[in-house]
Chain A
C-alpha cells in the first residue's frame, strides 16, 4: 500500500465533508480539519477503520449514523485512498469530476463556493439509475417529477395561514404563562440567595428566599395528512404547520400518507425555496392513499418517546379516510393518547354540511381525541383559537 500525497487527501476529505453537508449533515470547517487530523490516529489504509473513525467523528445523530455507511461508500468506493489511479497527478484531484456514484448525490452547486471542488456538467448518462438507491437527496431530475409545492395557492392566503398559526401559537403560550403565576408557593429554599439577602443581618436568616422550578412550555407535535383525499387542503395546511414550527420552538412536524416522515428540519430551513423542494422530496407519493393507523404506529414506535412528554399537544390534520384496519387505528390512538397531554384532531370535512365521522378509522379514533374541530377554511381555523387556549 502506497502512502497518499497529503494534498490529494486534503481535497478528498474536504470533498467528503462537503458531500455529507449536501446530505444535511450539520458540519462546519472545523469538522473538515478534524476529519483530516483523524488520519493521524487511525490506520488510513484500512477502509473499515477509516469508515468507523469518520463515522464517529462526523455523524451526530441516529439518522446520520444510519445513513453514513451508504454515503461513505458512494463517495469513496472504487476511488478511495487505496485504489487511486497511478496515472493521475495527485494535485489534480480538485479539478477532476467527482466519481461516478457521487454525481447522483449532487444537487446543482449553489452559486459560488463548492463549484471549484466539483464542477457542474458531471452528470453521466448512465450512473443515475444504475447506482441510485432512492436516497433522499436533492437532484434536479427527481424533484421535477414530484408535486411542486411552490405554487400552492395564492400568496396572500398562504401568508394569512402563517399569521394565523403564529396567533394560535401565542394563544397557547398565553395560557402557559398564566399557569406560572398561579403556581403555589415553592417548597424549596434558595439558600444561596437567602444568605446573600441576609448578609446585612450578620447572616441571620430573617428573609427567606424560595425558588421554584421554571416550567417548560407545552410542546406541539403536528401530524399532517398529505394523502390524495386531502390534496386540496394539505398544501395550505403545510403553510400553517410552517407558521407553527417557526413561532413555536418546542414543536415537531410530520407528514404522512402511506408512511410518515419528519419534516421539522426541512420546515425550519431559512431558504424558503430550498425548504419547499426538500419537502417535495420528503413527500414522495404525495397524493396517494392513506394509512393513518400505520403512520401513527410508526410515530409511536419511532418518534413518540423523543417528541412527546406529559406536556405535549398532538395535533392531527386529517380527514380520517384510512384504508387500514379500524382496530389498529383505535389501538394506536390509545397509545398516542397515553403519551400526550392532549390530542387535537382537525378535520376539514367536519365543516361540510351533513358530515358525520362515519369513516371507520375516524370513528375508531374519536374516543381518544380531546378536541375534534373543523378546519376547512381560515375562519374555521381561527375559531379553534379559543379551544386551543383552553387545553
Chain B
C-alpha cells in the first residue's frame, strides 16, 4: 500500500508541524509524476500529496485541455496503482456506475435448472456474486490494493447521482439488497474532474480537496514538451511555447490545450519545420491542430499570426 492511504487526521495538539520531510514529500511526488511524463505545478502536486495523505477525494477543475484526466493517469502510473475510470454522462445511473445483476444470465440459469431445483435454492444461486456485474465504483472498492478511481466529468452526471456518489465517497461501502453491504477492502484514491458545465453541490466540494488547474506557463509547458516530444529541437520547442502562450491571450472561443500543443509540435516536426521564423505557409496550414472552431480561425488573421509568430521567434 502506498505511504498513507489510511493516514488519519492528526490530533489537535499535533501542531508543531516542523517535520522537515513535508516539502521533500511533495517534491518527491512531483518528480515521480515527472518521471512518467506529467509535469505538475506546485499547487497540484500539493493537492495530490494531501489527497494521498488524508485519504480524501480530490476535485480537479480547469479549462478543457489543461490535462485534468491525465493527472489521474499519471498519478496511477507513478504510484503503481491500478486506474479505474468512471466516465460520467447525463443520465448515468447506479446500474451503470455501481452494480447491476446480470439478468440475462439469471434468466438462463432459471430456465436451465427449472425442474430439478427448489425456488429457494434458485434464488440463493442467482443472487450470488457470480451473477453480479461490477461497475467501476463497486470494482474500485473491492480491490485488495488501493486503486486510483478517476471519476471523469462529474458535472455531466445528474444531481441525483452526485448525491449518491457523495454517500459512496464518505462511507466507501455499497449495499446490495440481495447480498448485504459490501465494504471497501482498501480505500481508493479518488480523483474527480469537472469542466464547469454545471455547478457542483457545496456538499461534494466540501468533501473533496480542490485544485484549479491553469494552462501551464511557458516554462512548464516547455518541460512538458521536453518530456512528451523529445524529438523536438530546443529552439523550436521554446518558440512553440511562446507562440502558444501568446495565442491563449487572444480572444478565442476555444483556447488550445496541452494536447493541441503536442499535436501541433508533432505536425511541425512532420512538416520538417525547424523554426517558426522559417515557413509561414506551413505554420498557417498546421494551425488546424490548434484552432478548432470556424470563428477562432477567422479571429487569427494572417496579420495576427505574423505578429504572434514574429514575437515567438524573436
Contacts and interface: CB of A to CB of B under 8 A. Distances in A.
Interface of A: 1, 3-6, 9-10, 26-28, 30-31, 33-34, 36-46, 48-49, 52-53, 55-57, 59-62, 64-66, 191-192, 194-195, 202-203, 205, 213-214, 216, 301, 305-306, 309, 335
B107 A203 contact: yes
Interface string B14-54: 11111111110010000000000000001100110110011
B121 interface: no
Contacts of A64: 210
Nearest to B16: A3
B251 to A, nearest CB: 8
B22 A41 contact: yes
B16 A61 contact: no
7 contacts: A4-B16, A49-B26, A56-B43, A59-B212, A64-B210, A191-B103, A306-B196
A62 B198 contact: no
Nearest to A55: B43
Given A36-B15, A60-B206, A203-B110, A44 B9 contact: no
B205 A61 contact: yes
A306 B197 contact: yes
B26 to A, nearest CB: 7
A56 B209 contact: yes
A202 B210 contact: no
Contact of B198 (A34, A55, A306): A306
Nearest to A34: B9
B15 to A, nearest CB: 4
Contacts of B210: 56-57, 59-61, 64-65
Interface residues of B, number: 55
Contact of A48 (B42, B101, B196, B253): B42
Nearest to A63: B212
A26 B103 contact: no
Contacts of A41: 7, 10, 22, 49-50, 53-54
B43 A52 contact: yes
B211 interface: yes
B95 interface: yes
A26 B208 CA distance: 13
A44 to B, nearest CB: 3
A116 B189 CA distance: 39
Nearest to B58: A56
B12 A36 contact: yes
B75 to A, nearest CB: 14
A198 B251 CA distance: 59
Given A40-B9, A43-B17, 4 more contacts: A55-B43, A60-B208, A192-B95, A213-B91
B202 interface: yes
Nearest to A46: B23
Contacts of A309: 197-198
B188 to A, nearest CB: 19
A48 B22 CA distance: 11
Interface string B88-117: 001100010000110100110011001000
Contacts of A306: 196-199
A65 B54 contact: no
Given A26-B205, A192-B103, A45 B17 contact: yes
A60 B16 contact: no
B158 interface: yes
B211 A37 contact: no
A337 to B, nearest CB: 14
A195 B103 contact: yes
A343 to B, nearest CB: 18
Given A34-B9, A57-B209, A43 B196 contact: no
Given A57-B50, A305-B197, A26 B15 contact: no
Contacts of A9: 15, 17
Contacts of B110: 202-203
Contacts of B181: none
A215 B197 CA distance: 17
Contacts of B61: 61-62
A228 B33 CA distance: 54
Contact of A56 (B20, B47, B114): B47
